[in-house]
Structure 1
Amino acid sequence: MNIAEFLNKNVKRFPQKASVGFKKNNEWKELTWARFQKTVFKTANALAEAGVQKDDKVAIFADNSPEWMMMDLATLCLGAVTVPIYSTNGTEQVEYIINHAEPKIILAGNEEQYDICHELLSKSQNVELIISAKSSFKLKDKSITLQDFIENTSDKFYIVERTNEDVATIIYTSGTSGIPKGVMITHGNFQDTFDKHVKFFNFKNFEGEHSLAFLPLSHVFERSWTLFCFSQGAKVSFLENPKLIASALVEVRPTTMCSVPRFYQKIYAGIHEMLSAASPIKKKIFAWAIENGSQVSELKRNQQDVPFLLNQKYKIANALVFNKIKTKLGGRLWFMPCGGASISEEVTKFFDAMGIHITVGYGMTETTATVTAFPFTKYKYGSAGKLLGDSQIKIGENNEILVKGSGIMKGYYKNPEETAKVFTEDGWMKTGDAGIFDNEGNLTITDRIKDLMKTSNGKYIAPQPIENMFSNNSYINQIMLIAEDKPFVSALIVPNFETLEEKLKTLSVTFTNWKEVVENEKVQKFYQELIDGIQSNVSSFEKIKKFILMPADFEIQNGEITPTLKIKRNIVLQKYSDKIDTIYNK
């Protein structure tokens, strides 16, 4: 079955119910299922008239928006293949994907994205038309606005039948190293993933939920989650600029949302930073609230009743402390899938204590996202949860996690060599992640195998758990450990510039520019003491001996981090090799 069939199903069930939310002229608006379906069908007819046929490619290079999803679903309705491109990609990355995937048509979002696409027209023999999602700037040749593209087309359309083996999308991995590979995900991969979630979580009346899509739709996590929400009839609101997430949460008040660990780490660090400046009585109240909240969450996790007196204390803790934090998150969030990187046990427990449960999970682009996840109860802190559906895991050489199941990709597009490398002879897919699988069926990720570092003294360092420990601090925004073939561990540290700027006052340091500030002796001493305190219980060979404070954030646009905010170690090591050399040559 074509996964886009949910359009017809939902229009029959609740035609006037809201399906899509979006912000226009500073006001949140919505489309009903009937209106949404008609616009998707008009787009599908326009694509067909433009020559797009079954198995042809249509690329999308845009930020999150209803237009993004309309083009995606219209492409799927036709039996064609969607090729998402990260909205933050530069010209070189976009050129690689366009030349490799050979799309006939590209949907461009803003003017900058449109200009990149148009610049590449002369270098591509396949792209016939660029469609602009916006009408606010002037277009050049071989271009048309989406509004004009679909204006005179019919809203009647018969969705093309597809089989489980037919490719629905090719997602190019942003990976922390190497050339992007086009992951082929089929209609069957998506549908089986949806079915697994329904069965695993046993959702009731999910059509009443409201998700906020703020992670990039070009990433498998947000894309799969959004399509799952739609498949169940839920409403999805699209946030174009993820930097506006704080205000959007209050305005949209979603009930569900997928996110990455960094989102929760920042909230955790921010709360503790505010707490450090609070009065002694407020600190005591907060500690009391967390203590009671932890007792309640532990009982609920183990499916045990909460005693009356403890429940009354928890209600007071909610009124005095927790509700204020929940209100800043919109006040209605209850289901929050979290993946893309590891998250510390400390952060997960902290949110649980406040009654904000994070559903930790594990998956990859190649597995159509989720392989394991926390169930609602009996989950194990520090793990990545239990298997969903028919997913299977076994631990191979070097503790590598091997996976089988209906969510596994068809292969890498036009890349049989890399496809062969990732599969064993008996059909297990190598994930590149190291982990352990306990007797109760909980998967714990220990690290990326390729990220494991061996010092020149022969000691192995797993960076992620150590980096998470530091990232939970309010004065550290990003950190990358360095140890491979080195005599000791060092780090590149990006400060949280907002909290550091406040700290400068107490350090009696005058702000000039960030380069001078991070090199200031008092700031260096402050971070040295901070680091020593955080790693007091870390083994001596894992401790950071030296560090460099960076004057600016690692950026997606500079190719230094992935869209899920993971640092691209190889890129950063190469880019800042001179800085790193100074650490070891002093």
Structure 2
Amino acid sequence: MSDARRATDPPAPVPPRTVSLDGRVREAYVPPLVPRAPRGSLADLPYENAHQAPDDVAFSRKRPDGVWEDVTAGRFAAEVHSVAKGLIAEGLQPGDRIAIMARTTYEWTLLDFAAWAAGLVTVPVYPTSSAFQTRWILQDSGAVACAVEGMDEARVVSAERRQIPGLAHLWVFGTGAIDKLRRAGAHVPDEAVTARRGLLTPDTIATLIYTSGTTGRPKGCALTHANFFAEVDNAVEFLHPVFRSLIKEPTSTLLFLPLSHVFGRMVAIGCIRARVRIGHAPSIEDDDLLTDLAGFRPTFLLAIPYVLEKVFNSARATAERMGRAASFDRASKVAQRYGEAREAATPSLSLKAARAVYDQLVYRRIRAALGGHVRHVVCGGSPLGQRLSAFYAGAGIEVYEGYGLTETTAAATVTPPQRPRAGTVGWPLPGTAVRIADDGEIWLKGGIVFAGYWDAQHGQAVPYTADGWFPTGDLGSLDEDGYLRITGRKKEIIVTSAGKNVAPAPLEDWLRAHPLVAQCLVVGDNRPYVTALVTLDQDGLAHWRRMRQKDHVSLADLTRDPDLLAGLQRAVDEANRLVSRAESIRRFHVLPGEFSERGGHLTPSLKLKRRAIARDFSREIDAMYRD
């Protein structure tokens, strides 16, 4: 992207138009910032970038020696083209489904665009998926080919292959699959790829992304090229400070969230659309990710709250080990006050001065942990919480929270630049309308809403209302300015034996931000009061042990340790301030292990499988209701 393009600010976003009924705001709508794509597909993006700016850096790839090597737009387009020819040479036909089962790597993005250039439909599969999940997705989608990262994933697919008769190809990135495809396609004429691209329209299905399956068998969401154009084009214009650098440093991001998830995928496509330099980080282990952030030095990140919570808690733990916990806590309070004051009005001179002092002592270390150049974070998945959002804003990192689903091609709402509002997930993305139904359910409409659920035999199942709204299953409210607040899931609402409705999400999100807490499940359906199961964060627990010289204490004994339980009780008391007495957590139980995807208690996107947890820990839950 040229400097002139980066320096051009689009007009300020238009505030939502709202509709009220019975004294409540029931609808909010923001007009689109860009027109609907009239023709073409995502397959055209690499070719357009190569034509308009062939020497611009599109990617940086980490070599085995740790050096980041740049890939230009021209080179990326050439690689997409050669791999697309290989897919055609292997006999894949327009509309065929190809699955990708890998971590967040350059090869993932390359094959995604090559598949589109060959007229195919891509089907992401989490590399952590079980054999059953993998088999179901490959069977249901009718995939004829599957590309996996390494031999572990290849063994999972191979073990199920007898039950997937339509799967004709299995390629492994780690054994040179990309190079093999290039060689296979060497004899295919360039015109064959051009012809395949010409078959695609905005309404062609681009991908089938399967939902996490918190309550049952995953469903394939059919997202079109038009869905992605509506999402990324409006997001790029709306979040112009994120995607368009107004200083000399070009914009860049390091992708580390799974590309199997619609959030990571959308940002990857948006970056290619906006010509933002991209890096891939396959490992989110603390040391690996911090090393990659330091080497790549992104200007913005997409993250889930867990990542920002870990950065904050790790910084606090480091300060405590150095005997500077009190100083860090003061800096944290100053950052929070500054962030809150900036939202409400101009911060006072004394607050600005205090922030300047702590910027050198504390905040720059927070920014350094994210690579040193990050100024914006797009955060989704679950609410970050007012405390951390204000803290990061005060520390010089603007957090844009959003809300969306796989069915809405990621974000349906997002925090407007320079207009944050604590406790909300922002305005409707331009081109999107939000309605609050009579029972409080959030309904959505717009170009980002998917084509329907995949059903190869009977056609796409379209779960819309009679007048074209998509019911999300989430509960929320709109304020007078069109900001959306999420209050819970319809299926997760707890109804106590006294008839009190309790939304567990706010309590769980608050507790999860505590350095000792990994996950929390609030329960109480048909019970006299609300309780919670808590799992311990291993890094936070290790630090707690060191600081209190309890390294010798077994994990089982720690779950009953008075000091640890007292600290967790204080966190529970803080969370209970969010709700009424009838909704508050009366008792909690600490589990010795963590909820995990392998154990069947978390989805690949780290959502709680409530039914499975309640079933497997029924004895512990029952014990909290005994006198």
TM-score (norm 2): 0.85
Distance in 2, matches of 1:558 and 1:419, equals 32
Mapped to 1, the partners of 2:44 and 2:262 lie a distance apart of: 20
Could you tell which deviates more after superposition, 265-274 or 225-234?
265-274
Q: 1:194 maps to which residue? A: 232
Tell me the CA shift for residue 71 of structure 1. Answer: 1.2
1:208 aligned onto 2:250: yes
More RCO (CA 8 Å, sep 6+):
2
Q: Deviations over 1:131-169 (max 9, x none)?
A: 11002xxxxxxxx83322322534944233422211000
- Is structure 2 residue 431 aligned with structure 1 residue 387? no
1:569: which partner in 2? 610
Q: Which runs of 5+ in 2 are unaligned?
A: 1-39
What's the CA shift for 1:3?
1.1
Any gaps of 5 or more consecutive residues in structure 1?
136-143
Structure 1 residue 514, shift from structure 2 partner = 2.4
Given the superposition, is the C-alpha separation of residues 205 and 524 from structure 1 closer, same or farther in structure 2, using an over 3 Å criterion? closer
Shift of residue 66, structure 1, vs aligned partner? 1.0
| Superposed displacement of residue 261, structure 1 | 1.3
CA contact (8 A) 1:297 1:355 kept: no
Deviations 1:384-416 (A, max 9, x none): 001122100111032000000000000000089
Point out the more displaced range, 309-318 or 229-238.
Answer: 309-318
Report the 3-state secondary structure (helix = DSSP H, G, I; strand = E; otherwise coil) of the residue aligned with 2:303.
coil
- State the shift of 1:29 in Å: 2.9
* Paired AA for residue 233 in structure 1: R
Structure 2 partner of 1:13: 52
Q: Which amino acid aligns with 1:283?
A: A
Question: Structure 1 pair 111/433, CA: closer, same or farther in 2 (3 Å)?
Answer: same
Query: Does the C-alpha gap of structure 1 residues 43 and 285 become closer, same or farther in structure 2, counting only changes over 3 Å?
Result: closer
8 Å contact from structure 1 (residues 479, 494) kept in 2: yes
Match of 1:148 among 161, 180, 184: 180
Following TM superposition, by how much is the alpha carbon of 1:254 offset from its aligned partner in structure 2, in angstroms? Answer: 0.7
**SS class of match (2:449):** coil
The equivalent of 2:306 in structure 1 is 262
What SS does structure 2 have at the residue aligned with 1:559? coil
- Aligned-pair CA distance for 1:289: 7.2
Cα distance in structure 2, aligned partners of 1:504 and 1:122 = 50
Measured in 1, the distance between the counterparts of 2:229 and 2:577 equals: 48
Change over 3 Å in CA distance of 1:577–1:363 after alignment to 2: same
- Taking only aligned residues, the RMSD between alpha carbons, in angstroms, comes to 2.7
Identity %: 26
Q: Could you tell me how far 1:445 is from its partner in structure 2?
A: 0.6
Residues 345-387 of structure 1: CA deviation (Å, up to 9, x unaligned): 1111111111111100111100011111111112211100011
Whole-angstrom distance in 1 between the partners of 2:462 and 2:199: 32
Residue range with higher mean Cα deviation, 210-219 or 531-540: 531-540
Matched, 1:179 2:217: yes
Partner of 1:146, secondary structure, is helix
Question: What's the counterpart of residue 377 of structure 1?
Answer: 418
Where do 1:58-457 residues align within 5 Å?
A: 58-135=98-175, 145-154=177-186, 156=190, 157-158=193-194, 159-202=197-240, 205=244, 208-243=250-285, 244-274=288-318, 283-284=326-327, 287=330, 290-291=333-334, 293=335, 297=339, 300-301=342-343, 311=352, 313-414=354-455, 422-457=463-498
Q: Which residue of 1 aligns with 2:619?
A: 578
Aligned-residue offset at 1:305: 6.4
Instruction: Read off the aligned partner of 1:572 and give its amino acid letter.
Output: I
How far did 1:471 drift? 1.4
CA 1:478–1:160: 2 relative to 1, 3 Å: same
Q: 1:169-225: CA deviations, max 9, x gaps?
A: 000001322110000000100111122113323457469311111110000000011
The one-character-per-residue Cα deviations of 1:314-345 (angstroms, maximum 9, x if unpaired) are 43332222112111111111221111112211
Counterpart of 2:276, as a letter, is A
The count of corresponding residues between Structure 1 and Structure 2 is: 575
Cα distance 1:435–1:418, how it changes in 2: closer, same or farther (>3 A)? farther
Larger mean Cα displacement after TM superposition, 429-438 or 325-334: 325-334
Q: Does structure 2 conserve the Cα–Cα contact (< 8 Å) formed by 1:177 and 1:571?
A: no
TM-fit CA distance, 1:486: 1.4
- Measured in 1, the distance between the counterparts of 2:236 and 2:622 equals 51
Q: Are 2:502 and 1:470 equivalent residues in the alignment? A: no
Q: 1:44 to 1:307 in 2, by over 3 A?
A: same
TM-score scaled to structure 1, two decimals? Answer: 0.91
Q: Partners in 2 of 1:441 and 1:386 — Cα distance? A: 6
Contact 1:19 1:32 survives alignment (8 Å):
yes
Cα contact 1:290–1:354 (8 A) shared by 2: no
Displacement of 1:296: 5.1
Cα displacement string for residues 258-284 of structure 1 (whole angstroms, at most 9, x for unaligned residues): 11111122233334445556657x735
Q: CA deviation at 1:577?
A: 2.3
The amino acid across from 1:471 in the alignment is R
Distance 1:417 1:387, change over 3 A: farther
User: 1:396 and 1:307 mapped to 2: Cα distance?
Assistant: 41
2-side partners of 1:286 and 1:505: how far apart?
Answer: 19
Are 2:524 and 1:483 aligned? yes
Q: 1:264 to 1:502 in 2, by over 3 A?
A: closer
